[in-house]
Amino acid sequence: MSGPKGMAVRVAIKQLKTNAVDEEKEEFLREMDIMKQVGRHPNIVTMYGLCEEPDFQCMVMEYVPFGDLKHYLQNLRKQAHLESLNITHRDLAARNILVGENKQLKISDFGMSRPGVYVKMSKGILANSLTSSEKSCQIAGVIPLRWLSPEAIRDNIYSTKSDVWAYGIVLWEIVTLGGFPYPTVCDKDMLQYLLDGNRLEKPISCSDEM
């Protein structure tokens, strides 16, 4: 890609796979729309352009050279820009925070994002009435259960407040150098575990002040 003064700029291409199902196509197009709203911000991966041809959809994204936060952990700056735009990310986790030039952190992966407060019109994630698509997503690890707030798990209600909850899990990931949240709790017990007042244990390396 040609940048300022004709200089070449390395970019990343995010492309919709050729065998994508309708739900995946809708999610990809929705992510495009969200990225248009987000615009440019120093702590969010930039979309430079996109292609919406019927047989080819892709986004031309800023290339972030140092991988995700899971492999290069440091403190996360606030996501106030997204909140000011009334956008709920819904999948804030260390794996979706990339490290760019000058070790600058950038929030990425807006495929699950929605404007404002989002209420998914089905029963809670752990309910027996999950659709086959939702069940396959859960099996595939798409639903970020261990980063979700109780109201998101139980009632499918997502907001900037549930993003703040997820941000707390990210901080725990940082302090534990990429630990797996609630390692002793199985998925089916997560909601009751949280409703009983349980939370993530304080890491050994974390001081009382922190």
- Per-residue pLDDT tens listing for the chain (210 residues): 655 566 788 999 999 988 889 999 999 999 999 999 999 998 899 999 999 888 889 999 999 887 776 665 544 455 678 888 888 888 999 999 888 888 788 889 888 888 887 767 555 655 443 444 443 344 334 678 999 999 999 999 899 899 999 989 998 998 888 999 999 999 999 999 999 999 999 888 776 766
Q: Hey, what domains does the chain have and what are their CATH numbers?
A: 11-62 (3.30.200.20), 82-196 (1.10.510.10)
- Active site (annotated) includes residue 208: no
Buried-exposed string 84-101: b where 16+ CB fall within 10 A, e elsewhere: eeebbbbbbbbbbbbbbe
pLDDT at 142: 62
Which stretches of 54-210 are assigned E, i.e. beta strand? 56-62, 87-88, 97-99, 105-107, 114-115, 118-119, 157-158
Closest to 113 in 3D by CA, of 73, 57, 160: 160
Closest to 128 in 3D by CA, of 188, 81, 83: 188
CA dist list (Å): 79 to 107, 133, 185: 8, 30, 29
Identify whether the C-beta of residue 68 lies closer than 8 Å to the C-beta of residue 98.
Answer: yes
pLDDT at 105: 83
pLDDT at 131: 44
Q: Looking at this protein, which amino acid is placed at residue 87?
A: I
pLDDT at 130: 44
Phi, psi of 11 (to 5 degrees): -130, 170
Identify whether the C-beta of residue 110 lies closer than 8 Å to the C-beta of residue 47.
Answer: no
pLDDT at 84: 82
pLDDT at 64: 87
Q: Taking the complete model, does pTM exceed 0.75, yes or no?
A: no
Which of the following is catalytic: 91, 109, 155, 208? Answer: 91
pLDDT at 124: 60
pLDDT at 67: 75
